[in-house]
């Protein structure tokens, strides 16, 4: 397989890569939390969500100004005004920002505000967008398409890499199956599989995977246990009033659980949590921990 | 459901719409054949494929100048030069042209050459592209996404309609399932289902559905028997040398079978074949035909 | 592939087989209608449904005495009493009977009443049942499993054939996909694919495929147009009162449409309808039919 | 939903149940390892695999004497002789035994040898088998069907419970999707979802989920992190020579990794490992562990 995506493939026995965003770095021995609101609605909501993210230990802020929505009548995001809000909140909290680009024509504009550019699931095979984003040179977060195979996903990354941007972070966000109990089915085996095939870091989005708040913590733990380099989580100060995906957003009362899950799993997986505080490695030997 | 896509919905008991392209019209009582090469390779190959299409009874020429390909290293189409070839061949054969737009930035350019703009499966939820194409005002051929539900497909059409273009033709081209025997699984039940929910004409692409030449004729017949308003078929003068999807393209020797299938099914479904010759209705009563 | 299921495989260029049941024969140049109630409820309902089947042109009666149901609290069929009703109705109408066996322990009992034994989708890989049924020697109707590949389906048939019963008729009844608009997704391409790989006749069940009455006729036509050797249809004198799958059963008023669909498609596919009347071939040349 | 499967449903705020097998108990605060050979081949291979299981910390032995196989020409298991081998090995190692029943007619015989009866994925809707096994009264391990919804799975458990056996352990083993990179797609979200809906313990089979040895450890960790009550793992002394599913079986050199994964995850999830040694709870506070 390696020959079909030579730039993003992993060489046998070679270490996996890390991707830097702001002062933070993603993979291969860290456990990154990227969090924030699904959609930017107001400056206040965005700032409160960013503070929530920070309280939970997030080192990167996520938030959407351009929202790809199934219906043309649904809230489509605040667009450029949303970008301005995000930039301000990022500055105020000191967090680097990742936000979605949905149109190649907006790539430069979004890149002027963001530290990392997100390609959403619906655009994983929007090759013009992949190419435009790959030309910019900023790190890219590439979500897996709703029914993309792993090979198609890595080939989409190869489109970006071919333009000169190798700082790509993959994000598994659930695939479409017959099961109606959740919005998507988190393909947890994709994490170790991608890490074997590719040098790129891989995150998991436990919020969009299940589309249900009660699944976010178990799926976060499962993702990290499977070896993911971090997670991407929706938080909202008042999910009932959210304009987008409220049922999956964590509430203020859920943050301690998230932080504990991140910390516990970093510990057991022997990874660092990339906190702003002086770096600490939680554990070197679980044997000693149990005595 | 009607309220979620009011513009493309079908009113109870209302007739379905037809869409005109050149002198031809698609639906609701015709059986349209759109045919041509998957990709434009050379002027000669394109002309020969167009002549093949015409010989089989096609009233619209299809052909790709911009090819969305899974791998960045695969043939990506001839782009603007391909458009020029297509325009010339369309003029020479007198066939109206449908060709794919893969990037919103190309929409105007493609529209300057084409009579109908195709949105491919991978771009069904590329909302910027849907919007750009909807603003142009030319008829649109909207393929179903690889794993799109029928509701999502109709909502994608609604994006186009919301911009003022209601001349939209839907095209079922197979969905992604677990079955490895063919590239995609033709969802034949989508044809009557969409026709109940929406006023838009609906075609089937038997070539991309199966990805196998030997399935094209049976799937063509099945599509028309299910009520489809026509089919979209790949033809190539020399499929073994094709740069894209050769294994599914019909060869010159397959055209008579295609024409017979179209004619037989038009007859049994009591539909017109929109040939350039004076209109003929094949049959009004099968009873008389059998005596 | 042929070597993995040598008994049911089709030899290159060899004709496909036919299977006889009573005076009727299924495939390769007939268009068989098997119809009847999903479940036997009362003698009256069964007889009325059988008369409906006969009126629509059915040459084989179907009906379930043992019903595999998802819930243990749903109606499970009348069992042995249902078999007695079916036997009586079959005798009264002169139709041969196909009915489902759900348990290897019942195989002999069911075989004492039925002319053909049905293996349902849920039991396609119940290998003990396949073996038990294969030992009896009566013809078998083998439905495709809910998410079985074509290869698995043919291997299930091979289990039966290995016991000495080669009179097997396959039945495509829809596969499980992500699409919520219908109960199952009819995999129409399975029909020509199976006919290329195997010598066995293949039917389609348009009732269970969609689970909706309004899809039965379009899917029947599509099935026959794709080359199916016949269809298996649910009918019920009063579907609103049905104990099982009422929403998909045809009503008395739907029978003429079904008969027309069967006749039209037999005509266009150049197949016989195996009616009790003296054999007639509908057509040799569509050209002459239109004059 | 609770009303559709009242016996296996979980009451709001009620604790989840545990199921005892031999001296061991499964759920809700333990982390059980069930391990052994996929298929019994010889007494030596079975004993060696059982010793491997024991070395890795297994408290229950698994092994198949009756193997449901897709092809009638594949190794079908040793049957009754395999049961005798398993019984002997279970006695020698002191481990309780779980083994599969594939036919209702064998249920009593298998129950005479086994401490727990397994229903495999292909038989999840073999209702005669569910009923037969439910009448016996021994604990049952119920695997999820290849494409069963969670509701169908719980209804299958309800069939067993309706016969009087509530000691049922569910086992997620991967579902069928379009992704070709692994045999099945582990539906990790099923674990917390089932635990919310049902009182029954739930295990994960990381061996059959992926069908690849290199996925077993990551999937084991992920399963336990998602809250599973344990895992079911294939081990084989010489997988290259295995008659069934060798590529997924752990080798002797993999056992330490499995044991570490089990211990680490039990620690972080604050669960007991049900070892024969005096009970030990690994951790009450992760804070103290890090100092």
Query: For B95-154, how does the pLDDT look when each residue is reduced to its tens digit (9 = 90+)?
Result: 999 999 999 999 999 999 999 999 999 999 999 999 999 999 999 999 999 999 999 999
Contact B96, B86 (CB under 8 A): no
Name the band, by pLDDT with cuts 50, 70 and 90, for residue D276.
low
Tell whether the model's pLDDT for residue C2 goes beyond 80.
no
User: Is B177 in contact with D180 (Cβ distance < 8 A)?
Assistant: no
In this structure, the strands spanning C202-204 and C168-172 are: parallel
Tens-digit pLDDT profile for chain A (291 aa)? 447 999 999 998 899 999 999 888 999 999 999 999 999 999 999 999 999 999 999 999 999 999 999 999 999 999 999 999 999 999 999 999 999 999 999 999 999 999 999 999 999 999 999 999 999 999 999 999 999 999 999 999 999 999 999 999 999 999 999 999 999 999 999 999 999 999 999 999 999 999 999 999 999 999 999 999 999 999 999 999 999 989 999 999 999 999 999 999 999 999 998 765 433 333 333 333 333
User: Is C265 in contact with B225 (Cβ distance < 8 A)?
Assistant: yes
- Give the pLDDT confidence score for residue B273 in this predicted structure: 84
Neighboring chain B residues of A69 at a CB cutoff of 8 Å: 127
Looking at A256-260, D1-5, D15-19, which range is the least confident one?
D1-5
- Give the pLDDT confidence score for residue A120 in this predicted structure: 98
Residues C268 and C285: their CA atoms lie apart, in Å, by 9
User: Is B158 in contact with A71 (Cβ distance < 8 A)?
Assistant: yes
Tell whether the model's pLDDT for residue C157 goes beyond 90.
yes
Question: Residue D175: closest CA among chain B residues belongs to which residue?
Answer: B178
Tell whether the model's pLDDT for residue B280 goes beyond 50.
no
From D179's Cα to the closest Cα of chain B, the distance in A is 7
Residues D231 and D143: their CA atoms lie apart, in Å, by 12
The H-or-E segment that residue D267 falls in is helix D255-269
Question: How many CA atoms lie less than 13 Å away from C32 in the CB half-sphere?
Answer: 31
Tell whether the model's pLDDT for residue C221 goes beyond 70.
yes
Asked if C135 is an interface residue toward chain D (Cβ–Cβ < 8 A), one would say no
Cross-chain CB nearest to A215 (options D178, D189, D222): D189
Cross-chain CB nearest to C176 (options A147, A176, A178): A178
Question: Residue B223: closest CA among chain C residues belongs to which residue?
Answer: C222
The H-or-E segment that residue C107 falls in is helix C107-113
Contact B236, B37 (CB under 8 A): yes
Average pLDDT over residues C222-235: 98
Tell whether the model's pLDDT for residue B285 goes beyond 70.
no
Tell whether the model's pLDDT for residue C196 goes beyond 80.
yes
Mean pLDDT, all residues of chain D: 93
The percent of residues above 90 in pLDDT, for chain C, comes to 90
Name the band, by pLDDT with cuts 50, 70 and 90, for residue B274.
confident
Asked if B165 is an interface residue toward chain A (Cβ–Cβ < 8 A), one would say no
With contact defined as 3+ CB pairs under 8 Å, the chains touching B are A, C, D
Query: What's the first-to-final CA gap in chain B, in angstroms?
Result: 45
Q: How many CB atoms lie within 10 A of CB C113?
A: 18
Residue of A145, A146, A178 for testing the chain C interface, max C β-carbons within 10 Å? A178
User: Is A151 in contact with D181 (Cβ distance < 8 A)?
Assistant: yes
Neighboring chain A residues of B4 at a CB cutoff of 8 Å: 71, 73
Tell whether the model's pLDDT for residue C283 goes beyond 80.
no
Omega before B261 within 30 of 0, i.e. cis? no
Q: Which residue has the tokens 């033809």?
A: B235
User: Is B155 in contact with A103 (Cβ distance < 8 A)?
Assistant: no
The residues near C4 (Cβ < 8 Å, ≥ 6 apart) are C151, C154, C155, C158, D71, D73
Helical segments of chain B, H only: 43-55, 80-93, 107-113, 127-136, 150-162, 190-197, 206-210, 213-225, 255-269, 286-289
CA dihedral A182, A184, A190, A194 (to 10 degrees): -150
User: Is A155 in contact with B127 (Cβ distance < 8 A)?
Assistant: no
Question: Residue D206: closest CA among chain A residues belongs to which residue?
Answer: A189
- Helix H, strand E, coil C: the string for B54-117 is HHCCCCEEECECCCCCCCCCCCCCCCHHHHHHHHHHHHHHCCCEEEECCCHHHHHHHHHHCCEE
- Give the pLDDT confidence score for residue C22 in this predicted structure: 87
Asked if D75 is an interface residue toward chain C (Cβ–Cβ < 8 A), one would say no
Contact A136, A108 (CB under 8 A): yes
Q: Is C288 left (phi over 0), alpha (psi -120 to 50) or beta?
A: alpha
User: Is A222 in contact with D218 (Cβ distance < 8 A)?
Assistant: no
Question: Which class is domain D19-290?
Answer: alpha beta
User: Is D180 in contact with B180 (Cβ distance < 8 A)?
Assistant: yes
Helices B190-197 and C213-225: crossing angle in degrees, nearest 10, is: 140
Average pLDDT over residues D41-50: 98
- Give the pLDDT confidence score for residue D256 in this predicted structure: 96
User: Is C177 in contact with A178 (Cβ distance < 8 A)?
Assistant: yes
Secondary structure (DSSP) of B175-193:
B--S-TTSSSB-BTTHHHH
Tell whether the model's pLDDT for residue D181 goes beyond 90.
yes
Residues C143 and C101: their CA atoms lie apart, in Å, by 12
Q: Which residue has the tokens 């399935």?
A: B215
With contact defined as 3+ CB pairs under 8 Å, the chains touching C are A, B, D
Average pLDDT over residues B152-172: 98
Residues B162 and B131: their CA atoms lie apart, in Å, by 8
Greatest CA separation for chain D: 59
Question: Residue D291: closest CA among chain A residues belongs to which residue?
Answer: A289
Asked if D180 is an interface residue toward chain B (Cβ–Cβ < 8 A), one would say yes
Neighboring chain D residues of A181 at a CB cutoff of 8 Å: 149-151, 189-190, 193
- Give the pLDDT confidence score for residue B286 in this predicted structure: 33
Omega before C107 within 30 of 0, i.e. cis? no
Name the band, by pLDDT with cuts 50, 70 and 90, for residue C275.
low
Omega before D28 within 30 of 0, i.e. cis? yes
- Give the pLDDT confidence score for residue A1 in this predicted structure: 43
Mean pLDDT, all residues of chain C: 93
**Token pair of C137, please?**
């020697």
In this structure, the strands spanning C19-21 and C24-26 are: antiparallel
With contact defined as 3+ CB pairs under 8 Å, the chains touching A are B, C, D
Neighboring chain A residues of C178 at a CB cutoff of 8 Å: 147, 176-178
Asked if A79 is an interface residue toward chain B (Cβ–Cβ < 8 A), one would say no
- Give the pLDDT confidence score for residue D188 in this predicted structure: 98
Average pLDDT over residues B14-42: 95
- Give the pLDDT confidence score for residue B277 in this predicted structure: 43
Contact D227, D191 (CB under 8 A): yes
Asked if B193 is an interface residue toward chain C (Cβ–Cβ < 8 A), one would say yes
* Cα separations in angstroms, D185 against A209, C17, D101, D180, D213: 14, 38, 24, 9, 14
Neighboring chain D residues of A258 at a CB cutoff of 8 Å: none
Polymer length of chain A: 291
**Token pair of D169, please?**
């352990």
Residue of C195, C223, C226, C273 for testing the chain B interface, max B β-carbons within 10 Å? C226
Question: Residue A106: closest CA among chain B residues belongs to which residue?
Answer: B128
User: Is A72 in contact with B105 (Cβ distance < 8 A)?
Assistant: no
User: Is A180 in contact with C180 (Cβ distance < 8 A)?
Assistant: yes
Q: pLDDT: is C3 or B214 the higher one?
A: B214
Asked if C181 is an interface residue toward chain A (Cβ–Cβ < 8 A), one would say no
From C177's Cα to the closest Cα of chain A, the distance in A is 5
pLDDT in tens, B55-87: 999 999 999 999 999 999 999 999 999 999 999
Tell whether the model's pLDDT for residue D78 goes beyond 70.
yes
Asked if C131 is an interface residue toward chain B (Cβ–Cβ < 8 A), one would say no
Mean pLDDT, all residues of chain B: 93
Residues A110 and A83: their CA atoms lie apart, in Å, by 7
- Give the pLDDT confidence score for residue D274 in this predicted structure: 77
Neighboring chain A residues of C180 at a CB cutoff of 8 Å: 180
Contact D258, D20 (CB under 8 A): no
Neighboring chain D residues of C120 at a CB cutoff of 8 Å: none
Tell me if residue B198 falls in helix, strand or coil. strand
Candidates D112, D149, D111, D107; CA nearest to D131 is D107
Q: What are the backbone angles phi and psi of residue A109, rounded to the nearest 5°?
A: -60, -50
User: Is A219 in contact with D227 (Cβ distance < 8 A)?
Assistant: no
Contact C214, B191 (CB under 8 A): no
Residues B50 and B33: their CA atoms lie apart, in Å, by 12
ipTM: 0.93
């Amino acid at each position: 397989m390696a020959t079909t995506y030579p730039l993003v493939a992993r060489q046998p026995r070679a270490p996996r890569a890390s991707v830097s965003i702001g002062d933070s770095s993603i993979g291969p021995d860290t456990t990154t939390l990227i969090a924030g609101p699904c959609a930017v609605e107001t400056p206040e909501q965005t700032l409160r969500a960013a503070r929530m993210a920070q309280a939970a230990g997030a080192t990167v802020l996520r938030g959407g100004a351009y929202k790809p929505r199934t219906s043309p009548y649904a809230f489509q995001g605040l667009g450029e005004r949303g970008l301005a809000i995000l930039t301000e909140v990022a500055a105020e909290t000191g967090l680097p920002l990742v936000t979605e680009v949905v149109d190649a024509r907006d790539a430069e504009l979004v890149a002027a505000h963001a530290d990392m550019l997100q390609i959403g699931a619906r655009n994983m095979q929007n090759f013009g967008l992949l190419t435009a984003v790959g030309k910019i040179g900023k790190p890219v977060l590439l979500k897996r398409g709703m029914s993309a195979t792993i090979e198609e996903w890595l080939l989409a990354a190869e489109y970006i890499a071919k333009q000169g941007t190798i700082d790509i972070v993959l994000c598994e966000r659930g695939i479409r199956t017959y099961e109606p109990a959740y919005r998507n089915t988190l393909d947890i085996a994709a994490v170790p599989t991608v890490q074997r095939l590719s040098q790129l870091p891989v995150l998991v989005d436990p919020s969009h995977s299940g589309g249900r708040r009660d699944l976010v913590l178990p799926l976060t733990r499962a993702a990290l246990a499977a070896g993911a380099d971090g997670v991407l989580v929706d938080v909202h100060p008042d999910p009932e009033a959210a304009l987008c995906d409220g049922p999956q957003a964590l509430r203020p009362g859920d943050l301690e659980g998230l932080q504990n899950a991140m910390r516990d799993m970093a510990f057991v997986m022997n990874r660092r949590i990339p906190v702003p505080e002086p770096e600490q490695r939680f554990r070197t030997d679980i044997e000693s921990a149990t005595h």
